[in-house]
Amino acid sequence: MAPQDALLGWDEDANAEAYEAFTRAHPMYDATSRDLARRAGLADAHLVVDLCGGAGATARAILDLVPARARVVSVDSAAAMQRVGRRALDGHRLSWITAPAERLAEHVPVGGVDAVVCNSAIWKTDTPAVFAAVARALRPGGSFAFNIGGGFAGVRHPDEDTVRTGPSLNTLIHQVAARDHGYTPPPKAADTAPKLPLSMVTAQLATAGLALVDTEVTAQHGTMAEKKAWLSLPLFARPTDGGFTHAQRMEILEAAYALTSPGTPIVTSWLVVVAQRPEDTP
């Protein structure tokens, strides 16, 4: 069934189904999930939280890396995403909690979590509240691994410049919308400062009682075909303004994509952060 002509949000069946299908067909989420899970140090874990876990792409990676005795709890506020995830992943090693990330500590044993992993979603949350909840949930010495999109963090991996071979698909979409539909993009905001730079993250982690352990700017390599599939999801279709229906957005996307080649490489930058609850905290 075609999605409705609206950005209906994460807790909507059409978006959840399309998103889960994307995570299985394309490597982006699996690769970033495995990277974060490895950095979290799960070899001896008993209980791990997949925070903002959606339909379970990161939970799948965690389950592959934790010991057979370990349990994973996936926490997300969107019941539709979890309904989709349960079809393939439900089992005694994985449980699902429908709740906002900010309320994590209300749903897990306080001080009993070995690691928390959050892939591609931390900037959508109230980060000071989430960091405080993670600090309460973690055992002393427990780890917290998450990533922040390069635009939100204000970072850019060098590969973005060395690999780029032409305008981005987003840019082409807006050009086609202007050419064929008279679209005028909104003026850029005067304040272009990153929303969640490392300096802010470090300060918020410290306030929550978490110590910064490691950071790295990484590059996720993909193709133009993968980007097109991503922008086909109702949640991410462009332009987001201008009153376009989903069908019109898909028409614009097809026209923009026709100006590219499917195998054209693209690069996405991420700021990866690993923090820890210090061993000597009460």
Ordered DSSP codes for 175-226: HHHHHHH---PPPPPS----SS-HHHHHHHHHHHT-EEEEEEEEEEEEEHHH
Q: Which domain holds residue 51?
A: 13-156+189-220+268-276
- CATH number for 42: 3.40.50.150
pLDDT average, residue stretch 166-172 = 93
- Whether 21 is covered by a domain: the verdict is yes
* Backbone CA torsion sign across 47, 97, 123, 118: positive
Percent of the chain residues past pLDDT 90, beyond the cut? 86
Give the separation between CA 15 and CA 184, rounded to whole angstroms: 27
What is the C-alpha separation between 62 and 66, in angstroms, rounded? 6
- Are residues 208 and 131 in contact, defined by beta-carbon separation less than 8 angstroms? yes
Rounded to the nearest 10°, the torsion over CA 99, 134, 202, 70 is -110
Q: Is the pLDDT of residue 80 over 90?
A: yes
For residue 4, pLDDT over 70 is answered with no
Summarize the confidence of residues 92-109 as an average pLDDT. Answer: 96
**pLDDT at 2 > cutoff 70:** no
Q: How far apart are CA 50 and CA 72, in angstroms?
A: 7
At 226 the pLDDT is 96
What pLDDT, on the 0 to 100 scale, is given for residue 122? 97
Q: Read off φ and ψ for residue 174, nearest 5 degrees.
A: -65, -35
Residue 168 belongs to some domain of the structure: no
- The answer to the question of residue 117 being in a domain is yes
44 burial type by CB count under 10 A (0-12 exposed, 13-18 middle, 19+ buried): exposed
What pLDDT is attached to residue 166? 86
User: Is 46 domain-assigned?
Assistant: yes
* 27 belongs to a structural domain: yes
- Residue-wise pLDDT for 103-121, tens only, equals 999 999 999 999 999 999 9
pLDDT value of position 281:
65
At 237 the pLDDT is 94
d(C-alpha 254, C-alpha 220), whole Å: 24
The side-by-side arrangement of strands in the sheet containing 211-223 is 94-98, 71-76, 47-51, 113-118, 138-149, 265-276, 211-223
Sign of the Cα torsion 78, 80, 81, 87 reads positive
Residue 47 lies in a domain: yes
Percent of the chain exceeding pLDDT 70 equals 96
Question: Does the reported pTM lie above 0.85?
Answer: yes
Nearest to 277, CA basis, from 147, 131, 146: 131
Residues 6 or more apart whose CB falls under 8 angstroms from that of 187 comprise none
User: What average pLDDT does range 250-258 have in this prediction?
Assistant: 98
The answer to whether 150 and 271 are in contact (CB under 8 A) is yes
In a domain, 6, yes or no: no
Does any domain span residue 256?
Answer: no
Q: For the chain, what is the domain count? A: 1
pLDDT band for 273, please (50, 70, 90 cuts).
very high
**3 state SS of 249:** helix
Least reliable range by pLDDT among 60-64, 159-163, 185-189, 210-214: 185-189
Is residue 196 within 8 A of residue 123, CB to CB? The reply is: yes
